[in-house]
Structure 1
Amino acid sequence: MHSPLNRQSCRPFTRVIALSLAVTMLAASGLASAASAVCSAHSPAHRVALVELYSSEGCNSCPPADQWLSQWKNSGAAQSIVPLALHVDYWNSLGWTDRFSQHRFTERQQALTDLAGGHTIYTPEIFVSGRELRSWSQRDSFQSRIGKVVAEPAQANVALELTPQSLGAFSVAAQFTSQAAGTAGAAGALNAYLAVYENTLSSQVGAGENSGVTLHHERVVRQWIGPVPLVAGNAQIRREIRIQDTGADVMANAPADRFGVVAFVENDATGDVLQVAELAACH
Structure 2
Amino acid sequence: MISRPLIGLALALAANFFALGAASAEERRIEAKAVVELFTSQGCASCPPADALLTALAERDDVLALAFHVDYWDYVGWKDTFAQEAFSDRQRAYAKSWGSSRIYTPQIVVNGVKAVVGSRRSEVQQAVDGATLPLTMDLTLSGDMLKISVPPKGDLSNAVVWLITYKTRADVKIESGENAGKSMVYTQVVTGRQVLGMWEGETGADLKLPLGEVLGAPNTGIAIVVQQERGGFPGPILAAGAYEP
Question: Does residue 233 of the first structure (1) align with residue 168 of the second (2)?
Answer: no
1:164-217 C-alpha deviation (Å, 9 max, x unpaired): 8xxxxxx5535243424x455xx4x41111212212211111222122221210
CA distance in 2, matches of 1:163, 1:72: 28
User: In the alignment, which of 60, 63, 75 is matched to residue 76 of structure 1?
Assistant: 60
Q: Matched residue pairs, number?
A: 231
CA distance in 2, matches of 1:207, 1:42: 36
Q: 1:97 to 1:86 in 2, by over 3 A?
A: same
**Counterpart for residue 273 of structure 1:** 237
User: In the alignment, which of 136, 139, 143 is matched to residue 160 of structure 1?
Assistant: 139
Q: Which protein has the bigger helix share?
A: 1
CA distance in 2, matches of 1:115, 1:174: 32
Query: Quick check: 2:116–2:123 contact (8 Å CA) kept in 1?
Result: no
TM-score, normalised relative to structure 2: 0.79
RMSD (Å), alpha carbons:
2.9
Question: Does residue 199 of the first structure (1) align with residue 168 of the second (2)?
Answer: yes
DSSP 3-state at the match of 2:146: strand
Query: Quick check: 1:20–1:243 contact (8 Å CA) kept in 2?
Result: no
Read off the aligned partner of 1:92 and give its amino acid letter: D
Q: Which runs of 5+ in 2 are unaligned?
A: none
CA distance in 1, matches of 2:183, 2:30: 36
CA distance in 1, matches of 2:83, 2:141: 26
Read off the aligned partner of 1:127 and give its amino acid letter: V
Moved over 6 A (4+): none
CA distance in 2, matches of 1:134, 1:42: 23
TM-score, normalised relative to structure 1: 0.70
Question: Does residue 102 of the first structure (1) align with residue 80 of the second (2)?
Answer: no
CA distance in 2, matches of 1:193, 1:175: 12
Q: Which protein has the bigger strand share?
A: 2
CA distance in 2, matches of 1:221, 1:207: 23
Query: Quick check: 1:177–1:233 contact (8 Å CA) kept in 2?
Result: yes
Identity of aligned residues (%): 26
Q: Which runs of 5+ in 1 are unaligned?
A: 1-18, 165-170, 246-257
